[in-house]
């Protein structure tokens, strides 16, 4: 079961491919792919249908026949589909030999076959969760590798919630050190003050679940040192207070085909003096949408800072003062937002939620209201243009950057405005 290479294909791209096959009655068609190396092998990231007459290199061939009527000069991935049969992925080398590949589809349940099998979770300890979610969803939830960017209030709550329901692998990213005011997050102790937040959180998670594999990266999201972890992870989670970091992770999410769960909360100043209390929770599946076409970012200037490099980012962080940006933070609100985020992930893995989602929680006259805002669609100005672009597009400029820095700032709640 230990596949070296894995084919990753967004459900939305697979649907396009099948639609094209049905339209043309052809036996096969080609898609463009990028290859990205991971510790456990290599990912073949599907970008979209190939255009033009030339076969792309490298290519994915989506075929309805086991025998292809052409020879391929270089290694080619093949996804063999026949109705009523399980789909199969294999690598066709230039000598015509076929080797099985792992296969991950970015669709409800995040189904994957041929992966390295992680140890079975302790069914007794987590029998309640497994009972509620169903066996498949719970096992999937346990075996996914989470990259959590931001170890503050929201990040620590999510990390602890995941550890307590059996998650097996996590990587924690945060450049900051623990301060006195961080102790309202989960797992932080007075002893942790002055230690990197990521380290402190990792330590507290190991105490909860000694079998957890947790790696702490005390770096900024835009630091190249988090790249290997981003390629390795299955789901990217952002719980940050900086749109530069949020944007950076959103870019990695589309490049390496990693679904992204974004949580943002706020207790904000308003002109009326009444605080604006709310949260945005976004579940973004590459191929369907991205952060920019699904709500964008509230503060595009912070994205500009990240693009100027790590030094500018450090300067910016040092100059920021929380009181200019918010009235304060509420752990109760963090708990609601992270609870909704986790429920969204659970529902997607349990195949009850079928698409990306944007949920907004907002308090109006002391009453919580939940809005389903729908998700966006790929357009020329968003990150979706880089879907599956891997390392090749990592450093390529995006038109969207210019676009977002000149767009109207996105206001947290148009209702209260």
Q: Write out the residues near Zn ion by the rule CB under 5 A.
A: 290, 293, 378, 382, 384
Least distance in Å: CB of 134 to another protein?
Answer: 11
108 near another protein, rule: CB under 8 A? yes
Query: Minimum distance from CB of 165 to another protein (Å)?
Result: 18
Which of the choices another protein, Zn ion, none does residue 384 contact, using the CB cut-off of 5 to 8 A by kind? Zn ion
Give me the least distance between CB of 234 and Zn ion, in Å please. Answer: 20
Torsion of CA 263, 266, 271, 274, to 10 degrees: 130
**Residue 58: is the preceding peptide bond cis (ω within 30°)?**
yes
Q: Which does 293 bind (CB under 5 to 8 A by kind): Zn ion, another protein, none?
A: Zn ion
Question: Would the CA dihedral through 8, 9, 11, 14 be positive or negative?
Answer: negative
> With contact defined as beta carbons under 8 Å apart, do 46 and 9 qualify?
yes
Establish if 131 lies at the interface with another protein (CB under 8 A).
Answer: no
290 contact, one of Zn ion, another protein, none, CB 5-8 Å limit per kind: Zn ion
Q: How many CB atoms lie within 10 A of CB 324?
A: 7
In angstroms, give the least distance from the CB of 138 to another protein: 12
What φ, ψ does residue 378 adopt, rounded to 5°? -55, 135
DSSP string, 258-316: --EEEEEEEEE--TTSSPEEEEEEEEE-TTT--TTTTT--S-HHHHHHHHT-HHHHHHH
User: Residue 208's binding partner, choosing from another protein, Zn ion, none, with beta-carbon cut-off 5 to 8 A by kind?
Assistant: none
Task: From the list another protein, Zn ion, none, pick the one residue 112 interacts with, judged by a Cβ distance below 5 to 8 Å according to partner type.
Answer: another protein
Rounded distance between C-alpha atoms, residue 393 and residue 59, angstroms:
17
The yes or no reply on residue 345 touching another protein (CB under 8 A) is no
Choose which of 31, 50, 59, 105 interacts with another protein (CB under 8 A): 105
Among positions 36-75, residues that touch another protein (CB under 8 A) are: 66-67, 69
Nearest distance from residue 10's CB to Zn ion, in Å? 12
Report how many residues bind another protein under the rule CB under 8 A: 41
Query: From the CB of 286, what's the least distance to another protein, in Å?
Result: 15
Q: What is the DSSP string of 17-64?
A: HHHHHHHHT-SEEEEEEEEEEETTEEEEEEEEE--SSSPPSSEEEEES
114: left (phi over 0), alpha (psi -120 to 50) or beta: left
Contact footprint for another protein (CB under 8 A) = 1-3, 11, 14-16, 18-19, 22-23, 66-67, 69, 80-81, 83, 85-88, 90, 97-100, 103, 105, 107-109, 111-114, 117, 120, 135-136, 139, 351
């Amino acid at each position: 079961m230990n596949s070296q290479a894995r084919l990753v294909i967004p459900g939305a791209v697979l649907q396009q491919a099948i639609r094209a096959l049905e339209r043309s009655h052809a036996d096969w068609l080609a898609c463009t792919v990028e290859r990205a190396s991971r510790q456990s092998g290599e990912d073949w990231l599907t970008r979209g249908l190939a255009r033009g007459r030339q076969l792309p290199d490298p290519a994915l061939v989506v075929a309805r026949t086991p025998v292809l009527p052409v020879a391929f000069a270089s290694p080619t991935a093949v996804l063999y589909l026949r109705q009523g049969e399980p789909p199969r992925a294999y690598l066709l080398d230039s000598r015509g030999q076929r080797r099985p590949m792992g296969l991950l589809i970015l669709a409800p349940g995040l189904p994957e076959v041929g992966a390295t099998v992680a140890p079975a979770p302790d069914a007794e300890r987590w029998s309640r969760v497994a009972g509620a979610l169903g066996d498949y969803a719970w096992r999937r939830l346990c075996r996914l590798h989470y990259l959590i960017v931001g170890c503050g209030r929201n990040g620590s709550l999510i990390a602890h919630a995941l550890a307590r329901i059996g998650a097996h692998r996590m990587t924690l990213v945060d450049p900051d050190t623990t301060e006195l005011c961080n102790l309202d997050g989960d797992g932080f102790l007075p002893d942790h003050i002055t230690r990197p937040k990521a380290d402190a959180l990792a330590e507290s998670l190991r105490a909860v679940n000694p079998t957890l594999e947790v790696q702490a990266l005390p770096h900024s999201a835009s630091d190249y040192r988090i790249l290997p972890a981003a390629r390795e992870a299955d789901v990217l989670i952002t719980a940050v207070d900086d749109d530069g970091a949020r944007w950076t992770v959103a870019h990695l999410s589309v490049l390496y085909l990693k679904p992204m769960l974004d949580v943002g909360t706020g207790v904000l100043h308003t002109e009326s003096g009444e605080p604006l209390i709310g949260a945005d929770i976004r579940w973004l599946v590459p191929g369907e949408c991205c952060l920019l076409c699904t709500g964008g970012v509230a503060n595009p200037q912070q994205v500009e800072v990240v693009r100027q490099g790590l030094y500018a980012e450090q300067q910016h962080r040092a100059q920021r003062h929380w009181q200019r940006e918010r009235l304060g933070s509420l752990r109760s609100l963090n708990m609601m937002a992270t609870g909704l985020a986790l429920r969204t992930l659970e529902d997607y893995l349990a195949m009850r939620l079928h698409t990306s989602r944007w949920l907004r929680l907002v308090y109006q006259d002391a009453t919580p209201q939940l809005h389903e805002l729908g998700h966006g669609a790929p357009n020329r100005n968003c990150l979706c243009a880089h879907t599956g672009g891997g390392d090749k597009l990592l450093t390529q400029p995006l038109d969207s950057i210019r676009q977002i820095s000149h767009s109207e700032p996105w206001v947290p709640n148009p209702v209260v405005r």
